[in-house]
Structures are given as C-alpha cells and as structure tokens.
C-alpha cells in the first residue's frame, strides 16, 4: 500500500488523488502549452476532458485484458464448446463495449436470454454517434470512450445487427426493425472520417435480420449490395433477384476469429514499421450442407473473408493513435534496445571471461606438460584451450540469440492489441424452398454436425457456429 511519502501510490484511490493533485498544481503550465491561443473557457473544458480520460486510464489500465487472459475462453470457443467458453471468459473490463459484445456473440449460441447489457451499450453508442455523425469521428471517440477504446465501424454495425437478432429471437420485431434500420443507415452513410464504410458480410448479416423480421424486399437490397461489393460471390445473385422469399434461411458463423501478430516491415518508418500488426485467420473454409427429417438437402454457400473488418480496424487505429502511440512506442523501443544492449554486453563479457579462464587453464596444463616432457599432458592442455575458445563463442552466440528474442518480445504489441474477439472469419449462407422439419447443418466432408440454435423469425432463420479448424494431432 502507498503512504503519503510514496511518490507513486499503489492504492487506486490514492493513485487517483495523486494524479488529480498533480494536474491541479500543473494546470497552468499544461494550459499554456496546449491551448495558448484559445478562449479560456474552451481551454479548461478541453483540459477537464483530458484529465478525466487520464484518470480513467490510470485507474483501469491494470485491468485491461490481454491475449493470454482470453486463452481459456478462446480454446473452448475454438473447440465449439460455447457454454464453456462463456464460463471461462475473463473477468476484466466488465461492462465495456468489447466484453459486452464478445459475451453477446457467445451467448447467442447458448440461448442466452438476458441481453440487457448489449441494449445499454447500443443505446449509449447511438447517442454518441448522433453527436459525431456529421463531424470528425475521431473527436467523438476521444471524448466519449473513457476506457480508451476506439471501436471500428464493423464492430459498431455488427453490435446493432446482433442486438436485432436477439430481439427477433424474442419476437420483438418492432425493436429488431429499429436496429436493422440503424445498421442500414450506418452502412449507407459517410459517418467516418475515412469515408463510407461498407462490407459484404455485414450486408449478408443485415439481410438475415430483415428476413427474420419478415421483410424480404429489404433483405434483397442488402444482398444486392453484398453482390456489388463481392462480385466473386456469384451465388448471391440468385438471392438478390429472388422475387419470393425462401421458406427458411441458414446463416453460419465460420472460424473462431483471428488473432493479431507482429509483422515488421523494415522498409517503413522505424517505429511504425516495428509495430506493424497483422491478423492470422484459422478457419479452413470447409463445405457445409443441410438436411432435414424428410430427406430434403442442399448446400450452404461460402461468403468472403471478414479480413476487411480487421484491416479497417488497424488503419483507423494507426491513424487515431499516430502521435501518441508512436511516441510511446518509440520510448519502448529505445528502452528495450538499451536494456538488451546492456544485458548482451554483460553476457558477452562473461562469456569472454569464462573462455579466458578455460584458455588460461589449458595454457597452464600445456606448460606443465612441457616441463614434464609429457606430450599427452601438453596435448590435453591444447584441447582444453581450444574448447574454451569454442565455449566462449557458443555462449556469445546464444546470448545474441536470446537478446534478439527478448527484444522482439519487449516490442511485440500484439498481445495487448484491443479489438472484439469471437467475431466470424466468414459466413455460410443458404436457404430452402420448402418448409423443413428439424433441419441439421453438417460438414460435408467429415459429416460433423454444426452447432445451431432453434429456428426463429417470421421467415424462419437458423443460426449456427462452426469453428472449422483442424485439430492438432
């Protein structure tokens, strides 16, 4: 516990008081530095916003989730054990957009009926978006996200579609239609500083929501948009121009969701190149089909990858964090380089000393052999000296490799990268022309049954989840 004499208190309440007192005593200098040419009232309003953000980050940064925190839940999710995935979900960051949305994704496939937190997040999100829809989105995020997270368009739009599906499951179709219209407006308008964002997978998801609400005409509009965005998905054409609504719609979430990894690009800016991230997708994109008790069957069509969601997320995050993150990252790189250089120097020096001692020992043995006219003893001394040189070289090489590995780990930000996990890597979509009795979705090659929930909606929609990954032997 921190005391009054501690420069950096450990207790959260003391820590908050420390930062408040610090910034209060330094407010004039910060004011002059950041807002010298702006009106006083505006300056203090902006300063208060910055202070609240800093204090919030200081209090909550220790509880931010990392990749290793998600490992148990992701393992269960990757094995198709949705209930266990939710049971093993990490406890940190409760009530934030990330964790609420992640739990809602998992909960969709375990028949979770309480989605009140998702409702709350969606409503809060709507009020913020209205404030910034015609202005720069970056300002909105800086002002409105106290935990310091900058949601991507795909995550925000997916949130509202998911909420609509929850409403449709409970036959609250008016509420579901509100979410569908809202998601549609976000996809159709230029509400981002980077311009209009559109995506075929989000359009397919939205079409599924319209279908569950019984509005096939609206669903067709989004399926046409998906076809335009992904012309290689030619199968979309048969649905985009289908006059009569299908009797049943199938939608399966594919893949456990990608994970970030470091992908350095040395030809870029030194700092930004080192922190270049990419995402690894693990789904196999298998062939699925459905059957029912009456022997009806058909295949499901595979949609495009959701990679655009994550690339957009990276682009936006890099843009928003450009100055702040680069400066912090540069400090991290500089510190890590200095630390590893010091450690390496110490290890190399130690290796040389060890080698020197062994060489000296060998020289001594050689000398004794010469004095005793013993060629065997002299030869042994030479071997000892040579082994000392080799051992020192091996130790130096090992030290260099270890330092390189530790340096890479020090600057690897992929473990801390914040985004919404458990989103699909791709979608399967299909339909039936007749009413079905207890339809089942299966992997056509392995015959494995896909996890699915009971059909719901005015036009029955069957949702499923399939990890679609090869198990390690």
Beta carbons of 448 and 440 less than 8 angstroms apart: no
Final residue belonging to a domain, choices 61, 79, 102: 61
pLDDT attached to residue 355: 64
Is residue 435 located within the same domain as residue 306?
yes
Is residue 175 located within the same domain as residue 295?
yes
For 302-326, the pLDDT digits (tens) are 999 999 998 877 776 665 554 445 4
Report if residue 2 sits inside a domain: no
For 184-227, the pLDDT digits (tens) are 988 886 555 555 678 999 999 999 999 999 999 999 999 999 99
Is residue 76 located within the same domain as residue 57?
no
Is residue 263 located within the same domain as residue 343?
no
Q: Model confidence at 398, in pLDDT bands (50, 70, 90)? A: confident
Nearest of 78, 71, 457 to residue 253 by alpha carbon: 78
Is residue 372 located within the same domain as residue 433?
no
Is residue 357 located within the same domain as residue 264?
no
pLDDT attached to residue 409: 52
3-state secondary structure of 463: strand
Report if residue 314 sits inside a domain: yes
pLDDT (average), residues 222-249: 96
Q: Model confidence at 9, in pLDDT bands (50, 70, 90)? A: very low
Final residue belonging to a domain, choices 416, 439, 454: 416
For 28-54, the pLDDT digits (tens) are 332 333 333 434 433 444 444 444 444
pLDDT attached to residue 465: 98
Confidence (pTM): 0.69
pLDDT attached to residue 300: 98
Over 60: is that where the pLDDT of 250 sits? yes
Q: Model confidence at 400, in pLDDT bands (50, 70, 90)? A: low
Which of 24-33, 48-57, 443-452 is most confident? 443-452
What average pLDDT does the chain have? 75
Beta carbons of 393 and 348 less than 8 angstroms apart: no
- State the residue range of the domain holding 357: 328-416
Is residue 76 located within the same domain as residue 140?
yes
Total domains, the chain = 3
pLDDT (average), residues 226-230: 96
pLDDT attached to residue 56: 43
Is residue 55 located within the same domain as residue 70?
no
Report if residue 51 sits inside a domain: yes
Is residue 27 located within the same domain as residue 123?
no
Report if residue 1 sits inside a domain: no
Structure tokens of 109? 């496939």
Structure tokens of 187? 């996809």
pLDDT (average), residues 86-109: 93
Over 50: is that where the pLDDT of 470 sits? yes
User: What phi and psi values does residue 420 have, to the nearest 5 degrees?
Assistant: -85, 120
Report if residue 3 sits inside a domain: no
pLDDT attached to residue 197: 77
Is residue 241 located within the same domain as residue 338?
no
Tell me which of 116-125, 198-207, 346-355 is least confident: 346-355
Report if residue 471 sits inside a domain: no
Report if residue 299 sits inside a domain: yes
Report if residue 76 sits inside a domain: yes
Residue partners of 110: CB distance under 8 A and separation at least 6: 82, 83, 86
Cα angle, residue 346 at apex, residues 343 and 352 outer, rounded to 5°: 140
For 320-342, the pLDDT digits (tens) are 554 445 444 445 445 444 554 56
Is residue 241 located within the same domain as residue 356?
no
Is residue 169 located within the same domain as residue 225?
yes
Which of 90-99, 128-137, 261-270, 279-288 is most confident? 279-288
Beta carbons of 437 and 295 less than 8 angstroms apart: no
Final residue belonging to a domain, choices 379, 396, 416: 416
Largest CA distance in the chain: 106
What is the C-alpha separation between 132 and 140, in angstroms, rounded? 6
């Amino acid at each position: 516990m921190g005391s009054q004499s501690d420069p950096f208190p450990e207790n959260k309440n003391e820590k908050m008081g420390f930062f408040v007192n610090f910034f209060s005593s330094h407010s004039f200098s910060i004011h002059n530095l950041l807002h010298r040419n702006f009106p006083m009232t505006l300056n203090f309003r902006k300063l208060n916003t910055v202070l609240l953000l800093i204090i919030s980050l200081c209090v909550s940064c220790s509880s931010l989730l990392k990749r290793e925190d998600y490992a148990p839940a992701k393992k269960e999710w990757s094995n198709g054990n949705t209930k266990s995935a939710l049971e093993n979900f990490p406890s940190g960051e409760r009530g934030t957009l990330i964790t609420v949305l992640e739990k809602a994704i998992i909960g969709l496939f375990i028949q979770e009926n309480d989605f009140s937190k998702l409702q709350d997040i969606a409503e809060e999100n709507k009020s913020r978006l209205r404030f910034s829809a015609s202005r720069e989105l970056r300002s909105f995020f800086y002002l409105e996200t106290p935990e310091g997270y900058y949601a991507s368009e795909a995550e925000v739009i997916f949130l509202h579609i998911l909420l609509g599906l929850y409403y449709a499951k409970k036959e609250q179709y008016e509420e579901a239609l509100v979410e569908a219209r809202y998601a549609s407006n976000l996809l159709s308008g230029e509400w981002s500083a980077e311009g209009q964002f559109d995506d075929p997978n989000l359009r397919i998801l939205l079409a599924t929501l319209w279908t569950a609400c019984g509005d096939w005409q609206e669903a067709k509009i989004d399926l046409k948009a998906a076809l335009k965005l992904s012309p290689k998905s030619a199968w979309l054409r048969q649905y985009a121009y289908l006059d009569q609504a299908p009797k049943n719609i199938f939608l399966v979430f594919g893949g456990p969701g990608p994970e970030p990894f470091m992908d350095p690009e040395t030809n870029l800016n030194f700092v930004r190149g080192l922190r270049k991230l990419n995402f690894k997708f693990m789904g196999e994109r298998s062939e699925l089909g459905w059957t029912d008790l009456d022997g009806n069957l058909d295949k499901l069509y595979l949609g495009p990858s959701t990679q655009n969601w994550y690339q957009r997320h990276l682009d936006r995050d890099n843009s928003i964090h450009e100055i702040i993150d680069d400066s912090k990252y540069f400090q991290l790189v500089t510190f890590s380089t200095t630390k590893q250089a010091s450690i390496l120097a110490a290890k190399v020096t130690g290796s040389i000393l060890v080698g020197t001692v062994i060489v000296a020992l060998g020289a001594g043995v050689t000398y004794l052999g010469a004095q005793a006219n013993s060629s065997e003893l002299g030869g042994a001394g030479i071997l000892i000296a040579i082994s000392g040189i080799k051992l020192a070289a091996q130790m130096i090489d090992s030290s260099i490799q270890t330092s390189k590995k530790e340096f890479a780990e020090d600057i690897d930000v992929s473990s801390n990268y914040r985004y919404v996990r458990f989103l699909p890597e791709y979608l399967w979509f299909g339909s039936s022309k007749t009413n079905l009795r207890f339809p089942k979705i299966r992997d056509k090659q392995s015959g494995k049954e896909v996890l699915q929930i009971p059909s719901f909606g005015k036009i029955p929609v069957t949702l499923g989840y399939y990890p679609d990954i090869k198990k390690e032997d």
